[in-house]
Chains A and B, each alone.
Chain A
Amino acid sequence: MTDTSRPRPAVEARGLHRRYGPPGPGGFEAVRGLDLGVAPGELFALLGTNGAGKTSTLEVLEGLAAPGAGEVRVLGLDPLRDRAALRPRIGIMLQEGGFPGELTLAETGRCWAGLTTGARAVDEALDLVGLLPRRAVRVKQLSGGERRRLDLAMALLGHPEVLFLDEPSTGLDPEARASVWRLIRDLRAAGTTVVLTTHYLEEAEELADRLAIMHHGRVVTGGTVAEVLAAHPARIGFELPERTGANAALELPALPGTSTELDGRRVLLRTPDLQGTLTELLGWAARHRVELARLDARSASLEEAFLAIAAAGSAGGAPSAPAAGPAPAAGPAPTRIGRAA
């Protein structure tokens, strides 16, 4: 399995399990055999619905919690056993973390700088997230979005080699989100490995080199954005006219590689080749003078891939697609969309 042409992953997890509560039905298994690998300098996004196990996974990677089973390595170190050696090299931003409300931003930064090896100047860190003008303000007076940005600034204080961000842009207004995205991109360009969780799909599409979609404690789909999308067909929807008069014997043309779903007069086509299928369809419609009402053609989006996984899960158990391991090329079989499929 070892591929020597690839550098050693910056973050690596194998067979990770994490459980809350007592054994048996009283407890809850939040992470169920998770594998992932993040290459040095890569920006990796962990996606999933609420309760998919993203934060539970991240806490194990960060060394804040012990895994029930499985193995974790960050920069080749064990996050728990080698905590003292590893912590100075990583930065962590929790989904929910606090700073004392009665300290100013500058005082908060000074305290954190005193706890951080190789800390940059406090004003520089505040400037990175656009909070420098607020340096003399007390933390309790910050808005929710400003608090998130202060949290990010503290995570960046020690020039981390690996940065863990748990939902970094949740609670930010669009402008602040755009500037946080720019900052994360700059960090990545400077060689920082970034692992982030998000439930904003456009965030993963925008930022991530690779991503993994989690569902019920497992990675169900993973790879580059293009690879994940390739596993999901494009969709063409339209309505056929009433089958009366000239249209009584109307039959759709043969569209190879396409699956068809009928709901009364409503037709939903799924195709790996949107342009080709659409050309065929529109040619056929023109030849037969058929009006395709409410025509709608869409290439696959991460949102559809995501919804398909969530729907498959709520329809009974997670899809049995293989977990996305460190090799990104191993894309899983296409997940079927919709319950009727």
Chain B
Amino acid sequence: MSTTATAPVRTALSRLVALGRAETVLLRRNRTAVFLALVLPFVLVGSLRSVLRTAAEHTPGMDVNGSLATSSMGIVLLVVVYTNLTTAYTARRNDLVLKRLRTGEAADAEILLGTAFPSIALALLQCLLLAVGGAALLDLRAPANPLLVLAGLALSALLLTALAALSSAVTKSVETAGITTLPLMLAAQFGSGLMIPLESVPDTVANLCRLLPTTPAFQLLHIGWLGTDGTGPSEGFAGTWGPAALPLLLAAAWAGAAAWAARRWFRWEPRR
């Protein structure tokens, strides 16, 4: 080898850091993305509150402020991770950046994760702000099961990253990303219990909604924080594992399936 003794050795971690750092600079310099990521979620929180209040009128026992906090986190994850990354992957592909990166030492998964790093970090930071803000302003209770909350955040981030990669595969340009992300955005907002509590809709519809890709991961957030999936009384740490078992399994399965599909169908070069 022609490398010298002092030559830095690159690991998967150092490659992720290098990609993530460059992508953070790019995110900071993209005014539209910064605006969307910082402002839109909080605008949505405002309208979400009135939606959830209406829902509470015919959903006895619903914790409006609690649901507001966990639903807001779901929406932040959707906007900041899913739509933002769909655009980022499409832009990098069309600028032939992904093609060039693939000639280097980074593996495919490292390139996708490294690119996702700042979006995921920003979304998690905003979730933290929502939690702190909720505790201060909305009298939000402490999470019933913090482990489930963390699992919900991690699985949501992974799932939405993979779904963004998949969506970008059918997105021709940055300008059309708003259209290609719309179906999943609508399905996730209305069908995953963020805007309409699943316990307030007929059982058959609710059960179908529970099978949607994004529902189980968001349910984990809800159960972990509020101690209930809405169908029973609020439980403590030990009591939450029961109702969380199925969503946990489903969320992991969906995240795995989406990651597999993203690896299989992701496009590294623009269509000719």
List chain A residues, Cβ under 8 A from B9: 117
Which residue of chain B has the shortest Cβ distance to A114 in the bound complex?
Answer: B18
Measured between alpha carbons, how far is A161 from B3 in the docked complex, in Å? 10
List chain B residues, Cβ under 8 A from A115: 10, 15, 18-19, 101, 104-106
B7 within 8 A of A: yes
Which residue of chain A has the shortest Cβ distance to B101 in the bound complex?
Answer: A115
Which residue of chain A has the shortest Cβ distance to B111 in the bound complex?
Answer: A115
Q: Are A99 and B97 in contact (CB under 8 A)?
A: yes
Q: Are A99 and B100 in contact (CB under 8 A)?
A: yes
A116 within 8 A of B: yes
Measured between alpha carbons, how far is A62 from B99 in the docked complex, in Å? 13
Q: Are B1 and A100 in contact (CB under 8 A)?
A: no
A107 within 8 A of B: yes
Contact of A118 among B4, B22, B95, B102 (CB under 8 A): B4
A303 within 8 A of B: no
Min C-beta distance of B231 to chain A, whole Å = 47
B92 within 8 A of A: yes
Contact of A117 among B19, B25, B103, B105 (CB under 8 A): B105
A94 within 8 A of B: yes
Measured between alpha carbons, how far is A23 from B17 in the docked complex, in Å? 42
Q: Are B26 and A89 in contact (CB under 8 A)?
A: no
Contact of B18 among A94, A97, A113, A151 (CB under 8 A): A113
Most chain B CB inside 10 Å of its own CB: which residue of A101, A111, A118: A111
List chain A residues, Cβ under 8 A from B1: 89, 118, 161
Q: Are B104 and A112 in contact (CB under 8 A)?
A: yes
Which residues of A87-108 have CB atoms within 8 Å of chain B's CB atoms?
A: 87-89, 92, 94, 96-103, 107-108
Q: Are B104 and A87 in contact (CB under 8 A)?
A: yes
B96 within 8 A of A: yes
Given A103-B26, A111-B19, A111-B22, answer yes or no on A98-B97 (Cβ-Cβ < 8 Å). Answer: yes
Q: Are A114 and B99 in contact (CB under 8 A)?
A: no
Write the A181-218 contact mask toward B (1 if CB under 8 angstroms, else 0).
Answer: 00000000001000000000000000000000000000
Most chain B CB inside 10 Å of its own CB: which residue of A103, A115, A154: A115
Min C-beta distance of B16 to chain A, whole Å = 9
Main secondary structure of the interface of B (DSSP, over half): loop
Min C-beta distance of A222 to chain B, whole Å = 26
Contact of B8 among A98, A108, A112, A119 (CB under 8 A): A119
A329 within 8 A of B: no
List chain A residues, Cβ under 8 A from B104: 87, 92, 112, 115-116
List chain A residues, Cβ under 8 A from B3: 88, 117-118, 158-159
A110 within 8 A of B: yes
List chain B residues, Cβ under 8 A from A295: none
Min C-beta distance of B1 to chain A, whole Å = 7
Measured between alpha carbons, how far is A108 from B18 in the docked complex, in Å? 10
Q: Are B100 and A98 in contact (CB under 8 A)?
A: yes
Which residue of chain A has the shortest Cβ distance to B22 in the bound complex?
Answer: A111
Write the B14-49 contact mask toward A (1 if CB under 8 angstroms, else 0).
Answer: 110111011001100110000000000000000000
List chain B residues, Cβ under 8 A from A62: 103
Min C-beta distance of A90 to chain B, whole Å = 9
Measured between alpha carbons, how far is A113 from B9 in the docked complex, in Å? 11
Measured between alpha carbons, how far is A72 from B171 in the docked complex, in Å? 35
Which residues of B141-189 have CB atoms within 8 Å of chain A's CB atoms?
A: none
Measured between alpha carbons, how far is A323 from B2 in the docked complex, in Å? 33
Measured between alpha carbons, how far is A107 from B23 in the docked complex, in Å? 10
Measured between alpha carbons, how far is A287 from B172 in the docked complex, in Å? 75
Q: Are A116 and B21 in contact (CB under 8 A)?
A: no
A64 within 8 A of B: yes
Measured between alpha carbons, how far is A107 from B19 in the docked complex, in Å? 11
Min C-beta distance of B18 to chain A, whole Å = 2
List chain A residues, Cβ under 8 A from B18: 110-115
Measured between alpha carbons, how far is A97 from B14 in the docked complex, in Å? 23
Q: Are A88 and B103 in contact (CB under 8 A)?
A: no
Write the B105-118 contact mask toward A (1 if CB under 8 angstroms, else 0).
Answer: 11100000000000
Given A89-B1, A96-B96, answer yes or no on A107-B106 (Cβ-Cβ < 8 Å). Answer: no
List chain A residues, Cβ under 8 A from B105: 84, 87-88, 115-117
Min C-beta distance of A315 to chain B, whole Å = 29
Measured between alpha carbons, how far is A191 from B15 in the docked complex, in Å? 28
Given A102-B26, A116-B105, A119-B8, answer yes or no on A97-B21 (Cβ-Cβ < 8 Å). Answer: no
Measured between alpha carbons, how far is A35 from B3 in the docked complex, in Å? 30
List chain A residues, Cβ under 8 A from B8: 117-119
Measured between alpha carbons, how far is A98 from B99 in the docked complex, in Å? 8
Given A87-B104, A94-B103, answer yes or no on A116-B10 (Cβ-Cβ < 8 Å). Answer: yes
Min C-beta distance of A245 to chain B, whole Å = 65
Q: Can you report 24 A-B residue pairs in the complex whose CB atoms are below 8 A from each other?
A: A64-B102, A84-B107, A87-B104, A87-B105, A88-B105, A94-B99, A97-B99, A98-B95, A98-B97, A100-B22, A100-B26, A100-B92, A102-B29, A103-B25, A110-B21, A114-B14, A115-B15, A115-B18, A115-B19, A115-B104, A117-B10, A118-B7, A159-B3, A161-B2
- Which A residues fall within an 8 A CB radius of B? 62, 64, 84, 87-89, 92, 94, 96-103, 107-108, 110-119, 151, 154, 158-159, 161, 191
Seed contacts A115-B15, A116-B105, A117-B3; 11 additional CB < 8 Å A-B pairs: A64-B103, A94-B103, A97-B103, A98-B99, A100-B92, A102-B26, A111-B21, A114-B10, A115-B19, A154-B100, A161-B2
- Which B residues fall within an 8 A CB radius of A? 1-4, 7-10, 14-15, 17-19, 21-22, 25-26, 29-30, 92, 95-97, 99-107
Task: For the complex of A and B, list the 8 residue pairs with the smallest distance between their C-beta atoms, beginning with the closest.
Answer: A114-B18, A98-B96, A118-B3, A118-B7, A97-B100, A111-B22, A92-B103, A98-B95
